[in-house]
């Protein structure tokens, strides 16, 4: 299934996120990630929603979102060049003999080790979905204790 990234500009009111999530649930569509925050306009919020599906499902999601009262605009970001980032924190079990290897991998991905304790390290990475997945595959052999991802946030590139 193809991943689709949408930017949804909404009124900044209580319950808008719930209505959007409910729309996805009623239609049987899965939200892979969703980020919400303030936008360039004071009374609006911007959501970046990533969902998987074929082109028919993508088009249906766009149409259904556009029908919601508090939705101002829906933009399919992956239809044009875009910039996409996600923050990921990975806590790894790391003895003294493994720390140098983990730090070398983190450095090659331009990541930061943001916490060190006697038995663990926390690596922070900011990148697109594919970069974060690639790093995670290299770190898995070091015993991932905990993992958290923010979900993607994105915007179209200037033309």
Blockwise average pLDDT, block size 10, the chain, 159 residues: 94 94 94 94 95 93 95 94 95 92 95 94 95 96 95 89
* CATH match for 3-79 among 3.65.10.10, 3.30.70.260, 3.50.30.10, 3.40.50.1820: 3.30.70.260
Longest Cα separation, the chain: 57
What's the Cα-to-Cα distance from 86 to each of 68, 76, 80, 150, 152, rounded to whole Å?
27, 18, 19, 6, 5
Q: Which fold has domain 83-156?
A: Alpha-Beta Plaits (3.30.70)
Q: Given this model, what pLDDT does residue 96 score?
A: 86
Domain ranges for the chain: 3-79, 83-156
Q: Given this model, what pLDDT does residue 136 score?
A: 96
Contacts of 48 (CB under 8 A, 6+ apart): 5, 6, 7, 8, 33, 34, 35, 77, 151, 152, 153, 154
Q: Given this model, what pLDDT does residue 79 score?
A: 85
Q: Do the beta carbons of residue 44 and residue 10 sit within 8 Å? A: yes
Q: Is 65 helix (H, G, I), strand (E, B) or coil?
A: helix
Tell me the chain's radius of gyration from C-alpha atoms.
18
């Amino acid at each position: 299934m193809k991943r689709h990234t949408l930017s949804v500009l909404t009124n900044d009111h209580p319950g808008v996120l719930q209505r959007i999530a409910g729309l996805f649930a009623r239609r049987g569509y899965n939200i892979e990630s969703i980020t919400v925050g303030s936008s360039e306009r004071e009374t609006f919020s911007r959501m970046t929603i990533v969902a998987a599906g074929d082109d028919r499902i993508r088009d249906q999601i766009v149409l259904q979102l556009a029908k919601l009262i508090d939705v101002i605009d829906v933009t399919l970001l992956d239809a044009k060049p875009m910039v996409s980032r996600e923050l990921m924190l990975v806590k790894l079990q790391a003895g003294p003999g493994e720390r140098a290897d983990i730090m070398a991998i983190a450095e090659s991905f331009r990541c930061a080790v943001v916490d060190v304790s006697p038995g663990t390290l926390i690596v922070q990475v900011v990148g697109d979905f594919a970069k974060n997945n690639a790093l995670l595959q290299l770190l898995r052999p070091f015993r991932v204790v905990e993992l958290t991802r923010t979900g993607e946030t994105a915007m179209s590139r200037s033309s």
